[in-house]
A and B are shown apart, each in its own frame.
Chain A
């Protein structure tokens, strides 16, 4: 039952993601039209270019943490919308810079988890660039399992720690 729901949900999200990427492909990156379309799907509308104030007010841009499955660096479909709006912000504000901080949960080797954290941050970096963000605006750093947000040894906590944090170092 639960599995079926999950599969259906994944399918729906995948379809949405495919639809988005198609739109991005069809038009040049300079055109903000399709990105606006993407943001529309999540609810809030942001006509025109983003400004620094939007980082605090825009529901999509406020989403600065990307979570990952166990031992995975694949971006989950629900974060595609966030990738699109952060990529748009990078495009709208060429002077902006961000650091992607990759993290892992506490299980397993600390040094291996440094690698895993970097993989996750690279995955977010790739998604932002695929959505038109410039790699020159993005710095990747991995903290491995050294910066947990939650310190209990259970799945709830681990899921919160398997993450990439988007930190704007220049708005």
Chain B
């Protein structure tokens, strides 16, 4: 094999990487993953090098039998779609177009990296997915990297042995990623790629991954995750999914959908459709279920739905408001807001027994519970002090302490995996922006992440590198992903309709 010619020095360098290519999906591990025996002993996932190539087949993710009206016979449903096609352009169009992506800001300190196009070198039909383009877009979107435009790539190596390092030093690149796509039989493709440090001329990563055509975007996102982690020491969150609500039509003709898409907005799938408002999607920690609020019963109710099978369960439909579901980090409890006692209070439901524990008891609106990373406490929005502010309360109940003191209006808290950062929707007059409270440096420090006038619903990526939020542009809602330093924003625009209420899903597990 040509790759056996990799110099001994880079192979030695490569060996330190062993384990970095561990199966994604364990908890956020910066610690002793290099010494994780379970991973290294796993027979199907050996140490990664081209001598012992890492091969895996990705599952394809399908969404059979989703949504309520879709349970009706296909012909009826088709007739329904035909009748309302002019009202419901979402169904077909969103599947094809996905979300558009624009980078609207920039970061001068971002690391320069070249992701060279990875051509198909097999003998059959080339895959539709441009793997290198997906990897490059991911890295650029994070705000941590600045990718070299393809037009500036004077050479296009596809293997480490073809890289002329002086060229890339001249182009002031810190890192270069090269690779190519081969056939793997039975319509599958094999992507081989390598990451090099340009200055040291050292190979940092060398992986091969096999997948069907439909899963090549997943492969690309995992490549970006591996590159991100290797260079920054932080687990990448590109191979994750987001949930959000779309609305098409207005007034009585409004149609709502709960959608799930890849973190870059591609591959949108409808999970639930409804003529009544849908709200507040919340991911289970294993990424298999979504809790959400639906008005299909006339009043707000909370459901939990299995994304893959479409089966769902009515969780709460009490008198008054049933809103703001949030799974605990262990997935066994659900925090929620109920106003059955007369005004909105925070409750925790044990999902096994369905027993409810009332957490707050205060004359005022208490809502939007969100769990601390260890599950021991809840952050929530309360106007007990006159205006909405963020408070924290033990998850077993007790007295609440106020967390936010700057800003007239702070609501919709989202908490980073390490509890150090809280992003909120912060209001001042008629202007609502996403603001970040960073508590990692002793005294709390605020920064503003968004420039908009009606920004809302912030949601942290599982590695806290980015925050997803909703903004209004004209009469429609759009989603933005902003880097946690606020310097790079990317807009995810649904081709049609109003997009809102984004929720960033957990890390995904391979199997």
A, B in one complex:
yes
Question: A-side interface residues toward B, CB under 8 Å?
Answer: 106-112, 114-116, 118-119, 122, 140-144, 146-147, 149, 151-153
Q: Are A111 and B456 in contact, CB atoms less than 8 angstroms apart? A: no
Q: A115-B343, A118-B320, A146-B295 are in contact. List 7 more A-B contacts (CB 8 A).
A: A106-B454, A109-B368, A110-B501, A118-B343, A143-B295, A149-B251, A153-B475
Q: Are B367 and A115 in contact, CB atoms less than 8 angstroms apart? A: yes
Q: Are B411 and A112 in contact, CB atoms less than 8 angstroms apart? A: yes
CB neighbours of B320 from chain A (8 A): 118, 140, 142
Q: What is the CB-to-nearest-CB distance from B468 to chain A, in angstroms, rounded to a whole number? A: 15
B358 within 8 A of A: no
Complex Cα–Cα for A141 and B381 (A)? 21
Complex Cα–Cα for A142 and B340 (A)? 13
Q: Are A110 and B279 in contact, CB atoms less than 8 angstroms apart? A: yes
Complex Cα–Cα for A143 and B323 (A)? 11
Chain A residue nearest to B387 in the complex (CB): A71
A-B contact list, 20 entries, CB within 8 Å: A106-B454, A108-B409, A108-B425, A109-B367, A109-B457, A110-B279, A111-B337, A111-B411, A111-B412, A112-B367, A112-B368, A112-B381, A112-B412, A114-B300, A115-B339, A118-B320, A143-B295, A144-B279, A146-B277, A153-B454
CB neighbours of A107 from chain B (8 A): 427, 430, 432, 454
B350 within 8 A of A: no
CB neighbours of B321 from chain A (8 A): 114-115, 118, 142
Q: Are A108 and B432 in contact, CB atoms less than 8 angstroms apart? A: yes
Q: Which 5 A-B pairs have the closest CB atoms?
A: A115-B365, A109-B411, A146-B277, A115-B344, A109-B412
CB neighbours of B279 from chain A (8 A): 110-111, 144, 146
Complex Cα–Cα for A115 and B367 (A)? 8
Complex Cα–Cα for A98 and B250 (A)? 25
Q: Are B388 and A109 in contact, CB atoms less than 8 angstroms apart? A: yes
Q: Are B475 and A152 in contact, CB atoms less than 8 angstroms apart? A: yes
Interface residues in B119-144 by Cβ distance below 8 A to A read none
Q: Are A111 and B454 in contact, CB atoms less than 8 angstroms apart? A: no
Q: Are B280 and A118 in contact, CB atoms less than 8 angstroms apart? A: no
CB within 8 A of B280: which of A110, A115, A140? A110
Q: What is the CB-to-nearest-CB distance from A162 to chain B, in angstroms, rounded to a whole number? A: 14
Complex Cα–Cα for A110 and B454 (A)? 12
Q: What is the CB-to-nearest-CB distance from B240 to chain A, in angstroms, rounded to a whole number? A: 23
Q: Are B381 and A111 in contact, CB atoms less than 8 angstroms apart? A: yes
CB neighbours of B337 from chain A (8 A): 111, 114-115
CB neighbours of B299 from chain A (8 A): 141
Complex Cα–Cα for A135 and B381 (A)? 30
Complex Cα–Cα for A147 and B252 (A)? 9
Complex Cα–Cα for A146 and B500 (A)? 11
Interface residues in B403-447 by Cβ distance below 8 A to A read 409, 411-412, 425, 427, 430, 432
Q: Are B411 and A143 in contact, CB atoms less than 8 angstroms apart? A: no
CB neighbours of B501 from chain A (8 A): 110
The answer to whether residues A118 and B339 also contact, given A108-B427, A109-B368, A111-B367 and a CB cut-off of 8 A, is yes
Interface residues in B65-124 by Cβ distance below 8 A to A read none
Complex Cα–Cα for A112 and B409 (A)? 11
Complex Cα–Cα for A116 and B409 (A)? 14
Most buried by B among A114, A118, A146: A114
B33 within 8 A of A: no
Q: Are A111 and B427 in contact, CB atoms less than 8 angstroms apart? A: no
The answer to whether residues A106 and B411 also contact, given A112-B388, A151-B250 and a CB cut-off of 8 A, is no
B496 within 8 A of A: no
Q: What is the CB-to-nearest-CB distance from A129 to chain B, in angstroms, rounded to a whole number? A: 14
Chain A residue nearest to B411 in the complex (CB): A109
Per-residue interface assignment for chain B, residues 341 to 372, with 1 indicating a CB less than 8 Å from any chain A CB and 0 otherwise: 01110000000000000000000010110000
Q: Are B339 and A111 in contact, CB atoms less than 8 angstroms apart? A: no
B298 within 8 A of A: yes
Q: Are B411 and A153 in contact, CB atoms less than 8 angstroms apart? A: no
Q: Are A114 and B427 in contact, CB atoms less than 8 angstroms apart? A: no
CB neighbours of A146 from chain B (8 A): 277, 279, 295
Q: Are B472 and A118 in contact, CB atoms less than 8 angstroms apart? A: no
Q: What is the CB-to-nearest-CB distance from B134 to chain A, in angstroms, rounded to a whole number? A: 32
Complex Cα–Cα for A107 and B456 (A)? 9
Complex Cα–Cα for A147 and B299 (A)? 13
CB neighbours of A141 from chain B (8 A): 298-299
Q: Are B367 and A114 in contact, CB atoms less than 8 angstroms apart? A: yes
Per-residue interface assignment for chain B, residues 290 to 302, with 1 indicating a CB less than 8 Å from any chain A CB and 0 otherwise: 0000010011100
B324 within 8 A of A: yes
Q: What is the CB-to-nearest-CB distance from B203 to chain A, in angstroms, rounded to a whole number? A: 48
Complex Cα–Cα for A128 and B91 (A)? 44
The answer to whether residues A153 and B472 also contact, given A107-B430, A108-B409, A108-B425 and a CB cut-off of 8 A, is yes
